[in-house]
Amino acid sequence: MLATEWKIVNDTTWEFKLRRNVKFHNGEPFTAASVKETIDYALDPASKSHFATAAYWGLVKEVQVVDDYTVRFVTKQPWPNLVDSASLTNSLIMPAKALKELGPAKLAEKPIGTGPFRFVEWRRDERLVLERNPDYWQGPADASRVTFRFIPEFSARMAALLSGEIDIMKDVPPHAVEAVEKSGRARLRATVSSRINYLALVNLKPGSMQDVRVRRAMNHAVDVEELIKQVLKGRATRMCGPMAPANVDYAPVDCYKHDPARAQALFKEAGVDPKTLALTLDTPSGRYPLDKDVSLAIAAQLQRLGIKTNVVVNEWGTHLDKIKNRNTGDMFFLGWGPALHGQGTMQPLFLADQTYSSYGNNKTIDDKIARAQMLLDPRARAEAYAELQRLVHDEAPWVFLWQQHDIYGVAQSVEWTPRADEKVWMYDAKVIAR
């Protein structure tokens, strides 16, 4: 951690003490000036940075340098989750001098950080190469060089892992688990991710999903447990509301039970004949574990009630653009993570004016989100987010699906453990044999 301690000075001011004797890869010292330059850049309207939104750094009014190793964040309102935002990779700190002299565009092409590996080479859609930083403040990493390769096709990734061409493979699909375990060349390393997967029921445009009874009916119509068992082979943990246990603000809510009769009753109450519904479901392919397969299985389940569902499979960039531009169909499959605190889930996903939201314009929820993110008292904040989770659950803006399991194939010659926050942290990787 680059901050050794922090405290609340007053309701709108946080103070951080920075670690001494840390250097950037170009030799520049890590100081409060670099923190200020980085955040100021992110907040500058000319930067057009998405980190300037309220979900990231947008609640910061000013960054003050107290001395070389003390920095203060002055916020526009009380903001208890500032520490959470600072601890995530929402805005990695750049060296102040290099940022001024080289500019952000050149730093984006050849990043300069403080971590255990430093940049060597990047070739788009091919590879990223890093080398060991001998001056890392925690000591040098075991691996002298790390290469991240981009191999889109699953079969090619598997072949590379099992031939010894690569040491770690991300996203082993459930149906390939047995092959990895029996290969003798690699083994599985898995973790329950903080990332949640859900089926958004779009209520921000005219259509049947504007009726809460229809949205609740959809939750009763989809058999989540069957999807986990049959499609994901048990490699997911069911989620009953908008947050999962990995989220510090999580509070349990009851699951919607798979109940076709209840779904039919809710459709009837809403004046909707499910046999007349013709819905469109947008899904990516390969972004999340078996996302396309899950979406097709959901369509098959809905067909049991007579609901016709056209599944549109999108390339990831297209899928994201459709969500941002509100051009999806009635439903879309999406994952969100790392989902580690309440504000980072509630604000970007349940306010109508946010980029990734499919639901909104509910004044009660809007007001409660605004209040919850300002509560500095932990007990009051926990109660506020618990109430919000109950309200969102009852509004059924999604078919609540699961926490995904991140499954990696790891060569027998390497010891490495994945993290729940999805960061591929190679400092801990150990080469145990070759």
Residue-level pLDDT at 429: 94
Q: Which tokens in the block code for residue 174?
A: 């459930």
- Going by pLDDT thresholds of 50, 70 and 90, the confidence category of residue 190 is very high
Q: Which tokens in the block code for residue 226?
A: 């069957």
Question: What would the pLDDT profile of 291-347 be if each residue is shown by its tens digit?
Answer: 999 999 999 999 999 999 999 999 999 999 999 999 999 999 999 988 888 988 998
| Claim: this prediction has a pTM higher than 0.75 | yes
* Tokens 């051009």 belong to residue: 327
Q: Say if residues 301 and 263 touch (Cβ distance below 8 Å).
A: no
| Architecture of the domain delimited by 193-405 | Roll (3.10)
Residue-level pLDDT at 90: 60
Residue 150 vs residues 38, 169, 325, 335, 348: alpha-carbon distances, Å: 29, 10, 28, 21, 29
Question: What would the pLDDT profile of 199-230 be if each residue is shown by its tens digit?
Answer: 999 998 889 999 999 999 999 999 999 999 99
List the Cα angle 78/80/81 in 5-degree steps: 125
Q: Say if residues 337 and 195 touch (Cβ distance below 8 Å).
A: yes
* Tokens 């301690």 belong to residue: 5
Q: Which tokens in the block code for residue 427?
A: 């400092």
- Going by pLDDT thresholds of 50, 70 and 90, the confidence category of residue 54 is low
Mean pLDDT of the residues in the chain: 93
Q: Where are the domains of the chain?
A: 3-106, 193-405
Provide the CATH topology of domain 3-106. Answer: Dipeptide-binding Protein; domain 1 (3.90.76)
CA 269 to chain centre: 36
Q: Is the dihedral of CA 388, 389, 393, 397 positive or negative?
A: positive
Residue 309 vs residues 157, 199, 299, 300, 306: alpha-carbon distances, Å: 32, 13, 5, 8, 9
